[in-house]
Chain A
Amino acid sequence: MPSLGADMDHGKIVEWLVKPGDYVRRGDLVAVVDTNKTVMDIESFQEGVVAELLVGLNQTVPVGTPVARITQTPAEVPGPKPEAPPGAAARPGAVVPTVASPAPETAGPSSTRQPPGPPPVAPPVRHLAHRLGVDTDRIHGTGRDGAITRADVEHAAAARPGPSRTAAGPPEQGQSEPGAVEPGRVRAAPRARLLAAELGVDPSALAGTGPDGAITAQDIQLTAQARQTPPAAPPPEPAAERPAPEKTGPTQTTPEPSAPEVPVPESPGGEPAAGRTAALRRAIGSLMSRSKQTIPHYYLSATLDLRPAMDWMQHVNAQRPVAARLVPSALLLKAAALAARDVPEVNGFYVDDEFRPSPAVHLGVAVALRQGGLVAPALHDADTLTLDELMAQLRDLVGRARAGRLQRAEMADPTVTVTNLGDLGVDSVFGVIYPPQVALLGLGRVQEQPWAENGMLGVRHAVTATLSADHRVSDGLRGGRYLARIGELLQAPEEL
């Protein structure tokens, strides 16, 4: 059960999208989870065959609980190789480099190097890779244009340090009994397994210190502690490391951080069916309380001139069919995303007492649900989308948010959030930051108002933009720069 938000501690499986015997690839949707706040699809973090569903329909389990067991194809689990270092993680999927031997680095750089995008793989090679249990996303192609060849696949299979290959998946996918029917299974006491699940540690990736190399509860605890200190927290680009099937951007796919306690941006809200409103309000309340208690907010406000933007948009829309028309929000969101690239202090996460700016701009868009409550899913890489793409994705995202069908990555990824209460008629909104994000942009109503410039008074469209930002990361000068930059970008709407 992956964590789908900073304050989520339980999840209920409401639908299984796979059954035992199904073959799943990384990123395939496997189940639908109800988090009390929304209903979301969760994806597989690894490739293999579903051996067993461990959690029944409508069963609620804590975050970190294995929900299914996925085994790799039989050919993939060779017998133990004596030279293979115990606990070596062939996959970078195991987030336990602090306790594993240095072997992961030496076990085969070719198996961990990440090409920037999915490399081309010819079907016969893919077939071979599947048979050998090699994940083609993880190997470096030596063929033309980085294409993966048969030799690459065989090489990767040979370089794999044997039994631990199955071991290195993230714990969310129920690796508590990896290869239970295979040689080289992980030995761990039930108490250790339970603890591992609670702490989000993958026991199969550890070198046990108990009898015959069995994993002890202490091993698990030490791992969890070690992980919490330096290398634990996510790099500042969480979106890039989660397999997001709907994404087409040139982001690499690195493995899921295994820890349920990894802070992810929060996303309150979602489809409160009858009887769920109270839970939803509690979830929002608890997150917002935490934000207000831990984040020293400061607030800024600026009125942005929208005359060029609205003139341009009306001109463009007049020539378009309804379905292709833009709304002012699309222009504002694009400007907000571009400006976040220019003022990185507002874009990223504050974790472990330090700010980690994000190179990508995943714009959280607060969506009011018609039944009450709100969610703030991400428009991925919003700064790189054209206005038309952004508009299309915005419509899709809002539609799915209201239908309660968001992807996990969309809920977890936002690096900065925009709340657009202008649609509800307010002039300005001073929002509460979603931890661990560090800024929230509020947009009021787009309306005509008197505008004085160069000694002349006229009427223009304008909007009041506000910024709530984290004083640990930025101050009013940089925050003000962010708002001003948005205004500047909106003066040249055709370049957005």
Chain B
Amino acid sequence: MNEQDAREAVRAALRKVAPDVDLDDVDGGARLRQDLELDSLDFLRLVEVIDTDTGVDIPERDYPAVATVDGLVGYLGSHG
């Protein structure tokens, strides 16, 4: 998956999980948990939505790598 597609997938997933977050206003370095205020259930749902939509299953041990918006986009780019 190229970065464009990966970013769009993240944007779509975030829209479902946190509709109040406007990705255009979010810095790529923004942390999903602390800055976007996703709690652990939101985060789990985000991982679930991404799995469903893109087929990329992010195992728990890789969670630290996807803690930020850019980290998640990069992860999808290299695994999708």
Contact = CB atoms under 8 A, between A and B. Distances in A.
Interface of A: 314, 317-318, 321-323, 325, 327-329, 368, 370-371, 394-395, 398, 420, 423-425
Contacts of A328: 40
B57 interface: yes
A322 B41 contact: no
23 contacts: A314-B60, A317-B59, A318-B59, A321-B51, A321-B57, A322-B44, A322-B47, A322-B48, A323-B48, A323-B51, A325-B44, A327-B44, A329-B40, A368-B39, A370-B20, A370-B37, A394-B41, A395-B41, A395-B44, A423-B39, A423-B40, A424-B37, A425-B34
Contacts of B37: 370, 424
A398 B41 contact: yes
Contacts of B44: 322, 325, 327, 395
B48 A318 contact: no
Nearest to B21: A370
Interface string B1-33: 000000000000000001010000000000001
Contacts of B59: 317-318
A371 B20 contact: yes
B57 A322 contact: yes
Contacts of A425: 33-34
> Most chain-B Cβ atoms within 10 A of its Cβ — which of A322, A323, A370, A425?
A322
A321 B60 CA distance: 10
Interface of B: 18, 20, 33-34, 37, 39-41, 44-45, 47-48, 51, 57-61
Nearest to B58: A322
B40 A327 contact: yes
A270 to B, nearest CB: 16
Contacts of A325: 44, 60
Identify the 4 closest CB pairs spanning chains A and B, nearest first: A423-B39, A327-B40, A322-B48, A322-B51
Contacts of B47: 322
B60 A318 contact: yes
A322 B41 CA distance: 12
A314 B48 CA distance: 17
A321 B48 CA distance: 9
B41 A424 contact: no
A273 B61 CA distance: 38
